[in-house]
């Protein structure tokens, strides 16, 4: 990759982080990110465009640490049933949302 591509990845990271902080809701961010990642993955993009969007924008926008922090707060409360329910619910909903984005993208093209 060229230096220009790294600059674009950094710019995409900045925009993704800014939008994440603007929305400030882990569940909505997770759903939106999963949908658009599925949408982008189904497209035939160039290697650098994929890296800019997936490794740059979406990695900062959907930040896994927000998901883990949410689960950590529930875990610290000692509510194991709620913890297990949210863990499974979030993963399953995000997988279906990503597949839906993939499916929608295929239907459009």
Q: What is the pLDDT along the chain (109 residues), one digit of tens a residue?
A: 678 888 999 999 999 989 988 888 888 888 899 999 999 988 888 888 888 998 889 888 887 777 788 888 899 999 899 999 988 988 899 899 999 999 999 998 7
Residue 36: which domain range?
Answer: 3-108
Q: Are 28 and 70 in contact (CB under 8 A)?
A: no
Cα–Cα separations (whole angstroms), residue 3 to 7, 48, 49, 105? 6, 11, 14, 31
- Its pTM stands at 0.81
What is the CB-side half-sphere exposure of residue 35 using CA atoms within 13 A? Answer: 7
| Total structural domains within the chain | 1
Cβ atoms within 10 Å, residue 6: 14
């Amino acid at each position: 990759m060229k230096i220009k591509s790294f600059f674009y990845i950094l710019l995409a990271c900045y925009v993704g982080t800014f939008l994440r902080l603007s929305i400030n809701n882990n569940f909505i961010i997770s759903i939106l990110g999963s949908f658009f990642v599925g949408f982008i993955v189904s497209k035939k993009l160039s290697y650098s465009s994929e890296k800019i969007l997936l490794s740059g924008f979406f990695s900062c926008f959907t930040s896994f640490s927000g998901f883990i922090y949410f689960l950590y707060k529930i875990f610290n409360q000692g509510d194991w049933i709620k913890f297990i329910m949210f863990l499974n619910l979030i993963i399953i909903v995000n997988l279906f949302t990503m597949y839906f984005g993939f499916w929608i993208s295929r239907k459009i093209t």
